[in-house]
Structure 1
Amino acid sequence: MVPKILLQSQLMKIRIEQSSFRVLIGCLCRMNRVGFAIEILNCMINDIDGFVVDAKTCSLLLSSVCEPKNYLPGVEVLGFLQELKRLGFCPGMADYTNVIRYLVKMEKGLDALSVLDQMKSDGIKPDVVCYTMVLSRVIAEEDYAKAEKLFDELLVLGLVPDALCKVGEVSRSRELVKEMRLKGIAPNLQTYNIMIGGLVSKGEIAEACSLLKEVLDNRSRPPSFMFDETLCELCYKGKVSEVLEMLKEMADKNVSPGARVWEALLLSSGSKLDFMDTSLIDLVDPVSCQNDIFIAILLNCNV
């Protein structure tokens, strides 16, 4: 019906207002007729003197164009974004995020990185979602130099990285850490924590333990939460001796495990632990324990 309405309005010499154009554009976008919506926008630009495009309409058009199902041959997203900006549109965080997500899905890492730079030049601080999307694509393209720069930039901005392990890209994250080491950049606690969590989620406990021992060797007193998930997983697998070995190493660094580790250890070992032969009892922090009964069980376990 839209072409008929426009044709009839022209024949009747009725000038359609901007609000009517916006209604038509919104409707077409919701119906996934984005190509027609862009034509309506062009009609607005050509037919209305002094036309100023409103931000809401531009955002709607841009997000619709960025939907892969609405792919339009001949419509290049970055070019379309620049056209909207020339009309006076100032993209916000959500707009840039939509563009970056589209470019990453289309495997255009350099273009996504370019949009990230545009955000910063426009005075918009990219969030961790934007950085993570671009970082994942750059690493997929094996451009580790750019990935390293992005990761450092992310940390400098005070953002907590999701990084690749949380989306299952453990092998790629290994490569990134390896590249960092070759360049003389030591992983920080945040990097270690991400890697260890990713390895545990993939069931690669042995490598997670290796990284934990590396943390103990290189850090004066690492936070205890880094160890809990791995130790619990070892308990669930019945590897009590490996848990005890790690706990002794933690004791040397004055690092106490959380209450859930002690609970998992007790459940996996029954009453076979002899705490009289170890100094592990000194690791129990009553403040971190949720239940006085649990402490009593622990203190009286087979002594």
Structure 2
Amino acid sequence: MTDGLCKEGKVEDAEEVMEHMVEKGVEPNIITYNALMDEYCLRGQLGRARRIFDSLIDKCIEPDIFSYNILIKGYCKKQKVDEAMKLFCEISQKGSKPDIVTYNTILQGLFEVGRTGDAKQIYSEMLSAGTKLDIYIHVTLLNGYYKYGLVEEAMTLFNKLERNKEYTNIAFYSVVINGLCKNGKLNKAYAVFKKLSFIGLLPNVRTYTVMINGFCLEGLFDEAKYILRKMEDNGCTPNNVTYNVIVQGFLRCNKISEMASFMKEMDGRGFSFDATTTGFLIDVVRENPSVLDMIPELHSKHKK
């Protein structure tokens, strides 16, 4: 019953039911405690989640790895990484072992607050302990390295994994292409992109979009539009994100007339500006209100 209430978001009611159970001498199991913690963490009520966790220990009920993972994730989400690290270290002190979810969560938390050194240390410990790593761990590492400009570390890891043929799925390569583009390594990104066909991988909409965005970031719109057409020729339909990254590129480079022309195609496909594109446009119009007169499509949309 408590689990069902938690799923409905009625966590206070669920805790009240649990207290009644305890009063009647029925001790809830660890699954019930975890469900309560999880719901409180989802709400960002970490104090209450921690109280539930501590009550387990007070009742001499050993928290399981799921209990730790729930609370560590909650702390990381709120960027309270010191508290998350204390719990992470406590797992080993209790004679247990972090699982792959624990490692991935703590790595994400560390990268989120810029503690790249600690993230690298944990990764080294994982390797030393012989932990079986999965693609999610490596994607987290690659994203973290690229986020902080650690391109050499990212490419060393990528090359190692590629040589070992550990991962050959398109999502993995998309992360690398995106990271290289955002670090100004367009030529390297495009080399990886072009290599996909030789290793038998078909780019998906995300892969094409990150490559298009890479060209747009450098102001290379002819190349971006070439990839867009190639994408369609290969049977991969562009989505709203694809079109928005191109429009954002036009706005960044103040190519308003090109954007107006492109908007017709975008509108014809039923796509619209997302929040990021709208923000870009507002900034441009704020600096130069006459831009609106160059985009009649916006006036017609406004009248509707």
Q: How does the TM-score come out when normalised to structure 2?
A: 0.48
Structure having the larger proportion of residues in helix: 2
Which of 1 and 2 has greater Rg?
Answer: 1
